[in-house]
Structure 1
Amino acid sequence: MLKIEQHNNHYLLRTNHTPDTLSLDWFDMAFWQQKNAIVTSKQGRAAAWFVRYSDQDIAVLKHYWRGGLIGKLLKDQYVFTGLKRTRVYLELHLLNQLADLGLPVPIPLGAKVTVSAGIYRADILTHAISGAQSLCERLQSAPLSAQDWQQVATTLARFHHAGAYHDDLNCNNILFDESGEVYLIDFDKGALKTPAKEWQMANIDRLARSLKKEASRSAQFFCPPQDWQSFIDAYQSEMKKKPA
């Protein structure tokens, strides 16, 4: 369960993994700028800031932004119908559950929800994955080895055996760390479900579409049909095994 603290119109959410020193200031970029603790940033629709919160640790700070046509009008505003129904509460709670199950996800550090006049805005903070490189980035530079495809297949099967549903499984949300371990990120609108082939294969189909999309807009993208088929064969083999 998440721990909730209310500070006027702000809610601070803590997990089992939250540092004791976490405060509302951690969700303010000016706080990190004053500490000269901003390591880097990733811009675009899924913008993120990487901040050093201890000598050895880096966190990823993300603001919740709306997508699609409605995002052009409301940008980062959501109707508040209760804290436990906010997107950030649901994602943080799910990440906390997945981390407790031992699944490879970013460690959830905390979140902030700001409510005003029935509208909320939100931010989430997770531990950064060391040396992270997305599946998409890997495929833009060289073909993936058979071992790496096997690692992706094994990891996805672990999540699916556990009933962990990812609402937007694409090649940018699958990360390799510096030792080659595979992680899934961005569990907004995700859920723990009863394992079922229908939604599991919908996840795999979503990943296939994202690979085709990236291949169509990249100057080079190394994902030949035989590599994808090898991945599918490995995934299906892993799904036939009993969960560990």
Structure 2
Amino acid sequence: EIQFDGFTYPALDQIFSHAARMRTRTRSNITCPIVVRFPYGGGIRALEHHSESPETYFIHTAGLKVVVPSNPYDAKGLLISAIKDPNPVIFMEPKRIYRAIKQEIPDDSYTVPIGEAKIVREGKDCTIISWGAMVREAERAARELESAGVDCEVIDVRTLSPCDYKTIIESVKKTGRAVIVHEAPRTLGFGAEISARIQERAILSLKAPIFRVTGPDVPYPLFKLENYYLPNAEKIIEAVKKVIGF
């Protein structure tokens, strides 16, 4: 366990150069069944190294699995799956929702499969794709847009690597529109990869360009400015209205 997202950087050499490569390096004779668990993301009025979203570094590294739950039920089920997995798993917890959501959680052990996204709200007009704390913002945006006659589908990606592109593509083919939401900076964020996959496999179904709602390309700011930095429901609504009106 690493205390905060920004404290992972000194460990990256061991994670990238050794843990991620162990299976391939030994021709599967040795695996590295570890879980690297840490809180990430903003919204807690903290400084840099405490509020960053470094998922892209891990997703880009072959040999790692990357998991981001958005609620307590998935957190327990995905963590148990990660512990049972023979490969190294990066388990990122959105700290701003640690005490924001209450659910009834079974006492018994259960698993949520790694590699499966979840449609948390069905809709027909636009697909909103997100993970972690941004799923709540996406759901809030979808509820407000419903009153304006816009029916949004919301996908919780849950596992960023391996990513369930099949669920995403099928949804976008149905709605014809996509808005991707994440806290990390825009350039080369995971939203760009999702956008590329949609373009490759569903471009003829698109009725509008794919929009991204992300953090800007700057270091995470002082807490007085984090509300300007972070995506929120209002910014998502603005993006959805643009794709609907295209």
TM-score normalised by L of structure 2: 0.28
Structure with more of its chain in strand, by fraction: 1
TM-score normalised by L of structure 1: 0.28
Larger Rg: 1
